[in-house]
Amino acid sequence: MLARVLSSAILGIDAYIVEVEANLSRAKLPKFITVGLPEGAVRESKERVRAAIKNSGYDLPRQRITVNLAPADIRKEGSAFDLPIAVGILAARGFIKQDYLDRLLLLGELALDGSIRPIKGALPIAICARREGIAGLIVPEENATEAAVVGDVKVAGVKTLREVVDILNGRSPIIRVQVDRKRLFNQNQRYILDFSDVKGQEQVKRALEVAAAGSHNVIMIGPPGSGKTMLAKRLPTILPDMVLDEALETTKIHSVAGILPEGQGLIATRPFRSPHHTISDAGLIGGGTVPKPGEVSLAHHGVLFLDELPEFKKNVLEVMRQPLEDGKVTISRAAVSLTYPARFMLVAAMNPCPCGYATDPRNDCTCTSQMIQKYMSRISGPLLDRIDIHIEVPAVPFTLLSEKSPGEPSAVIRERVQETRRRQQQRFKKEPNCFANSQMEANHLRTYCALDSTAAELLKTAMERLGLSARAYDRILKVSRTIADLSGKENITSDHIAEAIQYRSLDRQLWLG
């Protein structure tokens, strides 16, 4: 008495087919064994499966039940195998016809009463089913919309084990879940926040527009209550609209992590992640026995905001160097090595001193110069090397806070940013590893950031008088290229250089300190 059921599991952000084999044999004592490198939740499934089968009205034989999860050399984790294991046992008992079991993928966590609970990773599993030519999926009802986003594969959402049995035996019709991807994408492509809510801070908003236009990393320095967090939360609203491929990749990561909002199915707005400064390096970069995505991957195609940057542990900040450089993160463990995408904009915020009021005219600073220097030194040079724009965020006066007229809306700013990105895409269309000005290497700077004599002289003077480092030179060129693109200019002028120099305030503070 043997039955085979197709299921699937996640490895990284991709899925692979798992064949669930259930064999019933005679034995003096009943026993339930699961093999195929099952992790804790999979090993515990036998208790859920037993109760679910019994409470669904089927009897479980007093026999030896052996369940094998193939391929047997890859560790299996999660509770999604509950449903295929139960179906395999019932099929081996003769309660389910085996006609369709080799053409359908089954996934779902079983409750003790036989109801089916949602799982993680329905989207990548549906993509795997389409790739492998599987006819359809039977998934929990809550995951049906997410899986149906893929298209070209039939998806049925179910609530109970008995309902699955009736479908497989032909007693109940399969109600296919269909999704209009374009309508769903447009429906979800809306932001709640808007830049029009921000009062004053015109210089900071301009700096963030430049950052969005060139995909530059930013650090904001200002006293408490100056609006750093408020501005950072609105940055995704001025980034270019996501395209469908970006949305699918982002949704896959959130689906695997199990944080996809219920019923949403597709993430169509750029993610904003803001971890607390007490986060561990594994929480930021990803980790676990079978590595799970961290905050840098959850921010893929969006914004990672680190508030109170100097309060983060140094080892936590140092692990961001690879994703900032490569746009991906590789996590190696004894059993497996996985690579997750992690192309995001880093936005950091910090106070100018430990008490926070060094630049606030309304409050007295109580910090000594040594305290300030020690506070600033918590930011490592390698991390600072990867931040293009430093901008001071002053406290907003009451006269601006009390203004009733709204500021410029995000939609208007986003249109300018998208036009600037289109210019960069045209410029770099023959450069495989460069999609925005922030990605330019030394050879790109020589080709696309040539300066006339006036602009070159201005940059030389700034380097000498302000004590700017060599690393600041490349950053200024990249940012000035973006400023020129925003203004629709082909060549970089002294005006563009002058504005880019203003965005190196932290370099000047460290040099003066």
> 274: burial class by Cβ within 10 Å (0-12, 13-18, 19+)?
middle
**What pLDDT is stored for residue 500 in this prediction?**
95
Contacts (Cβ under 8 Å, ≥6 apart) of 447: none
Among residues 85, 97, 78, 77, the alpha carbon closest in space to that of 60 is found at 85
Q: What is the pLDDT of residues 291-317, one digit of tens each?
A: 889 999 999 999 999 999 999 998 999
Residue 508 pLDDT grade (very low, low, confident, very high; cuts 50, 70, 90): low
Strands 154-158 and 328-332: unpaired
**CATH number, span 2-179:** 3.30.230.10
Contacts (Cβ under 8 Å, ≥6 apart) of 46: 32, 34, 65, 67, 85
**191 within 8 A of 399, measured Cβ to Cβ:** no
Q: How far is residue 266's CA from residue 103's CA, in Å, rounded to a whole number?
A: 26
Kindly tell me if the per-residue pLDDT of 512 is higher than 90: no
Q: What is the pLDDT of residues 231-240, one digit of tens each?
A: 999 999 999 9
DSSP state of 309: G
Kindly tell me if the per-residue pLDDT of 391 is higher than 80: yes
Six token digits for residue 273: 């992640």
Q: What is the pLDDT of residues 421-468, one digit of tens each?
A: 999 999 999 888 888 999 999 899 999 999 999 999 999 998 888 877
Query: Furthest-apart CA pair in the chain: how many Å?
Result: 93
**CATH number, span 191-407:** 3.40.50.300
Domain segments of the chain: what residues?
A: 2-179, 191-407
**Share in percent of the chain as helix, strand, coil (round to 5):** 40, 20, 40
Kindly tell me if the per-residue pLDDT of 3 is higher than 70: yes
Q: How far is residue 321's CA from residue 318's CA, in Å, rounded to a whole number?
A: 6
Kindly tell me if the per-residue pLDDT of 511 is higher than 60: no
**218 within 8 A of 389, measured Cβ to Cβ:** yes
**What pLDDT is stored for residue 302 in this prediction?**
97
Q: What is the pLDDT of residues 340-359, one digit of tens each?
A: 999 999 999 999 999 999 88
What residue type is 161 in one-letter code? L
**223 within 8 A of 395, measured Cβ to Cβ:** yes
**What pLDDT is stored for residue 494 in this prediction?**
95
